[in-house]
Amino acid sequence: MPLSKRFVAEMFGTFWLVFGGCGTAVMSAAFPNVGVGLVGVSLAFGLTVLTMAYAIGHVSGCHLNPAVTLGLVAGGRFPAKEAPAYIAAQVAGGIAGAGILYVIASGAAGFSVDGGFASNGYGDHSPGHYSAMSCFVAEVVLTFAFLMIILGATHKKAPAGFAPLAIGLALTLIHLIGIPVTNLSVNPARSTGPAVFVGGWALAQLAFFWVAPILGGVLAGGFSRFLFEDDAKA
């Protein structure tokens, strides 16, 4: 498949992830009291990945996340030379998704990005006011687990056709764990989209939500080489 088509697929898929997941958080839930709540937002993020995995997985592999792309590179599953194009597409899609969400959400009386606009944060901007250290560990560990599930579920000896279900449910689970801690990123493109529109503190903390998920993803890629090495040779 030409890189140009894969670029468009990654951009569209990441648009859907940010628009669907963050849109549910912004318009359908007010953590933790009304609307669909934490469970609904977690499910929304899982459903975005599940639906896109079936829709565009055969085109681009449905990474939708720089941490996934770099984790796959570290795991020997994706060529490093194509990673910059994928990451650029994911960031563009994340910003586009947040942009359309902003246009829709701003039509409601009293709307303001001061409420966070589903941005990720630590310390005073953590939903549960978790420390930066707690947030960093959570993002690294949850991204590591997410990548291990992706790498395991897409292994050639894994049951065929079920990877999207495992990956979508995994994203739901890690959101159930991590939303109170950081609003859960595990995805620098997802973090970048809302931060662009919130500005201020969200942009000031954005680097944190690039470094921690990418570290977790790359560690998982390296570990997968050890864990799945014998299977790959079998």
> Looking at the domain that runs over 3-233, which CATH code has it been given?
1.20.1080.10
Amino acid at 121: G
First-to-final CA distance of the chain: 28
In tens, the pLDDT along 60-92 reads 999 999 999 999 999 999 999 999 999 999 999
Residue 74 CB: number of other CB atoms within 10 A?
Answer: 22
What are φ and ψ of residue 34, in 5° steps?
Answer: -130, 175
pTM: 0.93
In tens, the pLDDT along 189-234 reads 999 999 999 999 999 999 999 999 999 999 999 999 999 876 444 4
Every domain of the chain and the residues it spans: 3-233
Those residues with Cβ within 8 angstroms of residue 229's Cβ, 6 or more apart along the chain or in another chain? none
